[in-house]
């Protein structure tokens, strides 16, 4: 049986290409490609600090901006209440991050849903009237997966008495 050197060479190239694609190092990826932080195995993270009503720091050094909500900034009416509510929900707790339509914001914060057990922290803040549904398709951003629930809760909630 006669061997075909060209066929053998093509097979070797194909196998090497596939191996490189599967096992290639970081240099094999484009430098701007974003790698998701949360693994598919449902691993959790601990919140070490609540920055404000919609931003938390994690034990792995990442900062997370809760997706789809907006709370008052420092010095604005309702800031203390929103931050305190998020502290009660998540500080020193194990949380699960839920992926959104975008990975990071312009401040390099992760854009994620934050779930404590079965409680969606962002949705909870909206229901308490401490946050509004925002930064969604109505504002020119991408449509995020929980957007409909957030908007529905926002319409039903009584906003805090800031005037």
Q: Tens place of pLDDT for every residue, the chain, 163 residues?
A: 556 666 666 666 666 555 555 454 433 333 333 333 433 435 789 999 999 999 999 999 999 999 999 999 999 999 999 999 999 999 999 999 998 888 999 999 999 999 999 999 999 999 999 999 988 888 888 888 899 999 999 999 877 667 5
Q: From CA 69, how far away is CA 54, in angstroms rounded?
A: 7
Give rounded-to-5 percent helix, strand, coil for the chain: 35, 25, 40
Q: Are strands 110-116 and 63-66 parallel, antiparallel or unpaired?
A: parallel
Q: Which of 105, 144, 146, 101 is nearest to 126 (CA)?
A: 146
How many CA atoms lie less than 13 Å away from 122 in the CB half-sphere? Answer: 29
Q: From CA 87, how far away is CA 85, in angstroms rounded?
A: 5
Q: Are 69 and 54 in contact (CB under 8 A)?
A: yes
pTM above 0.75, yes or no: no
């Amino acid at each position: 049986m006669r061997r075909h050197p060209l066929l053998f060479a093509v097979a070797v190239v194909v196998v090497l290409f596939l191996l490189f694609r599967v096992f290639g190092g970081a240099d094999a990826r484009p430098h701007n490609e974003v790698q998701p932080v949360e693994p598919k195995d449902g691993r959790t993270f601990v919140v070490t600090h609540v920055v404000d009503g919609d931003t938390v720091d994690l034990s792995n050094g990442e900062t997370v901006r809760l997706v789809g909500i907006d709370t008052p900034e420092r010095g604005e009416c309702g800031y203390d209440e929103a931050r305190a509510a998020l502290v009660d929900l998540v500080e020193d707790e194990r949380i699960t991050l839920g992926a959104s339509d975008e990975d990071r914001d312009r401040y390099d914060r992760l854009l994620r849903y934050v779930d404590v057990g079965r409680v969606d922290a962002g949705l909870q803040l909206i229901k308490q009237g401490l946050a509004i549904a925002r930064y969604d398709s109505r504002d020119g951003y991408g449509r995020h997966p929980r957007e409909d629930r957030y908007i529905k809760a926002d319409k039903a909630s009584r906003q805090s008495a800031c005037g």
